[in-house]
Amino acid sequence: MKKVLFVCTGNTCRSIMAEGLFNSVVAKEDEAMRQFKAYSAGISAFDGACASDNAYSVLKSWGIDISYHKSKRVTQQDVDSAFLILTMTREHKRALLQLFPEAEDKVYTLKEFAYDDCESMNNMSIDITDPYGMNEEVYRKCAIEIRQAIYKVLEKLKLKYSGQ
């Protein structure tokens, strides 16, 4: 099993949505792609919080259940066991590398890994904006942005691991 770790601030919005979206898509892929499993954690998370209501609601409307989720702070074990670590922002990446400099070769922002260059991003921000405290529509837009990047990540992983 190759662990893909998604990291944000509190592990109640963006990173858990990324975890749920990634695992949902991978579950429908061929056996070679099902070797990947997503997990999530937060740089400043309080252990044990549920996913935000709006994150839960948006993903549920897409048939993805994240009701099991309890937030957790990123640990050395998380970093060591991860095959790939994708952060939601450049600041998350910077903070993570300050805490775990040995992980430099496997830490990227989600969009940095997903898109080869800034041109292919169509003027999008390199960061996934935090929807915390906003309405459900803001969460939906955030989830769509994450989902688009995850599809690109999976295309890259397929090329490398499925031979497709």
| Alpha carbon 29 to its chain's center | 18
Give the C-alpha separation, 56 to 66, whole Å.
6
Name residue 99's amino acid: L
The span from the first CA to the last CA of the chain, in angstroms, equals 20
Q: Could you give the CA distance from residue 121 to residue 76 in angstroms, rounded to a whole number?
A: 32
List, by residue number, the catalytic residues.
8, 14, 130
Q: Which structure tokens are listed for 76? A: 């050395």
Maximum CA extent, the chain: 42
Residue 33, CA distances (Å) to 51, 83, 121, 138 in order: 26, 14, 24, 30
CA distances from 121 to 4, 10, 92 (A): 22, 26, 20
